[in-house]
Structure formats: C-alpha cells, structure tokens
C-alpha cells in the first residue's frame, strides 16, 4: 500500500515537497487519548507559501512537527520529497532536518551568549561548513533580513522583531528547501508582525524556500499563496 502511494506521488508529475496521506496523530494521556490530527491528507507544493490557519489547540504545531520529522504519526504516512519519513533512521532524520529544513518558532530561542552573527553561524557549524563560508553566509543573511548593522549584538540588545529576524536568518543558514514556521508573529506587535510576514514572503521567493506557516493570524494567511484551515484536528473543506 505504502509502495503504491509512493509510485503515485512520483508519477503525478507535480512535485509536493511534503505529503500527508491519511495522517492521524493521537496522544495517549492519563486523561485518555487526545486526537490531535484526524485523517489529514494534504500536499505542500514545492516553492509555495502555505498557511495553516486554525485556533489554539487545533493541531497546527502537531502537523508542523510531523512535517519536520520531530514526531511520528499514529497512522498514515508523511512523505518528504517522496520519502516516507517513518522509514528513515534517526541519523538520516537528523541529517534531513539539518540540511533540508529550517525551523522558526513563536519564541526565537537564540543563544543569549552569542552575537547575531554567531547565532546564525551555529547550524552551519553543526553541519561542518568551513568557518569562512559560515561567516560569508551569515553576513549575507543578516543583510537579507536587514540587520547588517546589528551583527555583533547579542539577543538582549535586540528588539523582539529583530530577534525573530535573526532566528529566521538562522533557519535559512543551510539553505533549506522547507521552512517550517510555527506562529512566527505570535509574540510581536502588529506592525513588527507585518514586517516579519513581508520578510517571509520575500524569502520564499528570493531564497526559493517552501514555507509552511502555522498561524491564527489572518493577515499572515493573506500573503500566503494558499491557506488551509484546521479545526479540532481536521482539515476544513475549502
């Protein structure tokens, strides 16, 4: 069955970067099972900016975690570029996350002892990119997110919006194909949120990175190529 699905995905011609096929995720808790996602079937097309919109608790983070191979589905299959993520070893998954995916969260989680430049260098250091290349790419990214003049500043000398821009630059360090953004404007005021939204749109195009962005903010969904709505773990019909 799984093999047949893979063949279909390849023969289809279009190129989804991520495919969810009848994906269900249930968390077992002391209070009983929590059905976070139910029968999700969804293709994220390569190059698109797709917003996942839904209220708190609807399953957005769970969906992104599955796309980012941070968790497994209870049933169904998640494919990344035709590869069933459940078939990868832990090592292969780690490599995939490091080289092909970038993550941006509501809290930017920068290393507080490091400058903006060195925060952006970190994922490249983990990927064993030579030092000079790390610096060149980090400077290029700081320019892209309009923070070239803040490269030596540690996070506590940056505003929330600036920290999020550093976090976005860090997520792009290893030129990922897929950027997973989980409520990236959730901690920002409206005006700053708008600059982050515009930045993600711009990077989607200039860096040729597919963006999968979870949000309850409709302005963010507005700039996306497409948005899908999730309520109580189920995709709503458009």
Ligand X SMILES: Nc1ncnc2c1ncn2[C@@H]1O[C@H](COP(=O)(O)OP(=O)(O)O)[C@@H](O)[C@H]1O
- 103 near ligand X, rule: CB under 6 A: no
Q: What is the spatial distance between Cα 92 and Cα 167, in angstroms, rounded to a whole number?
A: 24
CB nearer Mg ion, residue 64 or residue 116:
64
Report yes or no: 42 and 233 within 8 Å, Cβ to Cβ. Answer: no
CB nearer ligand X, residue 33 or residue 189: 33
- The region of 52-60, 80-88, 171-179, 203-211 touching ligand X under the rule CB under 6 A is 52-60
- Burial string for 143-157 (b: 16+ CB within 10 Å, else e) reads ebbebeebbebbbee
132 interface partner picked from ligand X, Mg ion, none, CB below 5 to 8 A per type = none
- Cα 183 to Cα 157: distance, rounded to the nearest angstrom: 23
155 binds, among Mg ion, ligand X, none (CB under 5 to 8 A by kind): none
Is residue 59 within the footprint of ligand X (CB under 6 A)?
yes
Task: Mark 9-28 with x for binding to ligand X (rule: CB under 6 A) and - for no binding.
Answer: ------------------x-
Q: Measured from the CB atom, is 60 or 170 closer to Mg ion?
A: 60
In 3D, which of 23, 2, 15 has the Cα closest to residue 67? 23
| Binding residues for Mg ion restricted to 57-86, rule: CB under 5 A | 60-61
Tokens of 75: 């049933």
Q: 3-class DSSP state for residue 170?
A: helix
Instruction: Tell me which of Mg ion, ligand X, none is bound by residue 33, counting a contact when its beta carbon lies within the kind-specific cut-off of 5 to 8 angstroms.
Output: none
């Amino acid at each position: 069955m799984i093999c047949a699905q893979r063949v279909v995905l390849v023969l289809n011609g279009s190129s989804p970067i991520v495919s969810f096929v009848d994906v269900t995720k249930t968390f077992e808790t002391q209070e009983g099972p929590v059905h976070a996602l139910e029968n999700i079937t969804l293709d994220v097309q390569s190059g698109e900016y797709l917003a996942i919109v839904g209220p708190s608790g609807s399953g957005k983070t769970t969906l992104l975690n599955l796309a980012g191979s941070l968790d497994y589905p209870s049933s169904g299959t998640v494919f990344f570029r035709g590869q069933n993520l459940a078939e990868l070893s832990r090592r292969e998954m780690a490599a995939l996350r490091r080289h092909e995916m970038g993550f941006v969260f509501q809290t930017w989680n920068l290393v507080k002892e490091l400058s903006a430049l060195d925060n952006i260098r970190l994922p490249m250091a983990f990927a064993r990119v030579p030092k000079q290349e790390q610096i060149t790419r980090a400077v290029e990214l700081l320019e892209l997110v309009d923070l070239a003049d803040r490269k030596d500043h540690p996070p506590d000398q940056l505003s929330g919006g600036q920290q999020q821009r550093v976090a976005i630059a860090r997520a792009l360090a290893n030129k990922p194909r897929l950027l997973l953004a989980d409520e990236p404007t959730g901690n920002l005021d409206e005006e700053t949120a708008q600059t982050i939204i515009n930045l993600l749109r711009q990077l989607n195009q200039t860096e040729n990175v597919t963006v999968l962005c979870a949000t309850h903010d409709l302005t963010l969904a507005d700039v996306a190529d497409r948005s899908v709505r999730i309520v109580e773990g189920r995709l709503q019909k458009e």
